[in-house]
Structure 1
Amino acid sequence: MNREEIVKVMQEADCLHDDAEVAAALDKMAGQIAERIGDRSPLVYVVLNGGIIAAGQLLPRLRFPLEVSYLHATRYGDKTQGGQLHWKVKPSENMQGRTVLIVDDILDEGNTLAAVIDYCREQGALEVLTAVVINKKHHRKARPGMTGDFVGLEVEDRFLFGCGMDYKGFWRNTLAIYAVRGL
């Protein structure tokens, strides 16, 4: 894509949730997380690349001791449709007996997130919880009834970008949530 095409996608996009709405959702999530696991010193894994913005906004709102690391599992790359799961960086910290919180941008179908959860459980995590800024509403989840433990916003089934989600590798850097017009 050239720069003009990338700019045009933003200009034509529908803003579903502006910066203030996303910030309020993150505040709500932080309160729920603190209430549930604030006394456990959890291990927090940020899922790259999408979880960077979410974690950068969410983690400073958590006012309790926690350990932060990252993992990188992807099904998208710079594509708009998912493929086979690929681990770029597997979790490396000892999870045995720990509460693990996985922070990501979106729960769409959830195949990547389900694989990460399973991996953490296999490594001996006591509890594995998920925090996602967006839960996309549809019936194609990897597991029936799958949702995040902490969800900022529910969004219709459209192609989204912003707050960590990208359009062909671009626009992760906005806090607001946009939908590509026509997709």
Structure 2
Amino acid sequence: MKTVKLLDREFRVSIPAEKLDQVIAQMAEKMNKDLEGKEPLFICILNGSFMFASDLMKQITVENAQITFMRLSSYDGMGTTGKVKKLMGFTEDLKDRTVVLLEDIVDTGITISNTLEQIQDYNAKEIMVATMLFKPKALIRDVKINYVGMEIPNDFIVGRGLDYDGVGRNLPDIYTVID
């Protein structure tokens, strides 16, 4: 079993990079069909989603697809604060656009719910949510997710953009904390 030590915690591989690559390729294939002719604007929610967005966008073939970035924060250490801070917005006009929010993980649903509320004010034609990982047992907000890469247990994870106090984002695999 491959393990890593990040700061004061040990983590073990739970989802290898090859599996994540497969899942993202399947998501891209479905999106390419669903979004054909819509010229979508993808919004990558930073910091965690940068690797997912990069991997996904390399496989998006929809004509005139664009990407922009929005930076939010709701975590401190291994837990959510329950409050979402908008640290950096975007400048693109969303009016009458098909928007796809790209999230690394949806767990409680607080971040994506808050983001959806903020985006509503921009009068987008339609708003979709795509997440690489989803923790259904952690969900406390009712949110519609259009594209789910994988459902996972309610464990603390790092890697592939997800971090533990700022470290571990660079790991290509997903690691689960060892208690």
Q: Same fold (TM over 0.5)?
A: yes
**What does 1:3-82 correspond to in 2, within 5 Å?**
6=6, 9=9, 12-64=10-62, 65-76=64-75, 78-82=76-80
Matched, 1:148 2:145: yes
Change (3 A) 1:140 1:132: closer
**In structure 1, how many angstroms separate the alpha carbons of the residues matched to 2:108 and 2:7?**
27
Gaps of 5+ in 1: none
* 1:180 aligned residue: 177
* 2:155 aligned residue: 158
Q: Assess if the C-alpha contact under 8 Å between 1:121 and 1:127 holds in 2.
A: no
Matched, 1:128 2:127: yes
Q: Assess if the C-alpha contact under 8 Å between 2:5 and 2:11 holds in 1.
A: no
Gaps of 5+ in 2: none
Which amino acid in structure 1 is aligned with residue 6 of structure 2? I
**In structure 2, how many angstroms separate the alpha carbons of the residues matched to 1:178 and 1:82?**
18
Alpha-carbon deviation of 1:45?
0.6
Structure with bigger strand share is 2
Structure with bigger helix share is 1
| TM-score normalised over the length of structure 1 | 0.88
Secondary structure (helix, strand or coil) at the match of 1:130 reads strand
* 1:99 aligned residue: 98
| TM-score normalised over the length of structure 2 | 0.90
Secondary structure (helix, strand or coil) at the match of 1:138 reads helix
Which amino acid in structure 2 is aligned with residue 6 of structure 1? L
* 2:112 aligned residue: 113
Which amino acid in structure 2 is aligned with residue 123 of structure 1? Y
**In structure 2, how many angstroms separate the alpha carbons of the residues matched to 1:37 and 1:159?**
32
Identity of aligned residues (%): 22
Which amino acid in structure 2 is aligned with residue 171 of structure 1? G
Q: Assess if the C-alpha contact under 8 Å between 1:135 and 1:147 holds in 2.
A: no
**In structure 1, how many angstroms separate the alpha carbons of the residues matched to 2:147 and 2:161?**
17
Which amino acid in structure 1 is aligned with residue 147 of structure 2? F
Q: Assess if the C-alpha contact under 8 Å between 2:138 and 2:154 holds in 1.
A: no
**In structure 2, how many angstroms separate the alpha carbons of the residues matched to 1:72 and 1:20?**
27
In the alignment of these two chains, the number of paired residues is 174
**In structure 1, how many angstroms separate the alpha carbons of the residues matched to 2:163 and 2:109?**
16
Q: Which runs of 4+ in 1 moved over 4 A?
A: none
Change (3 A) 1:88 1:8: closer
Which amino acid in structure 1 is aligned with residue 52 of structure 2? A
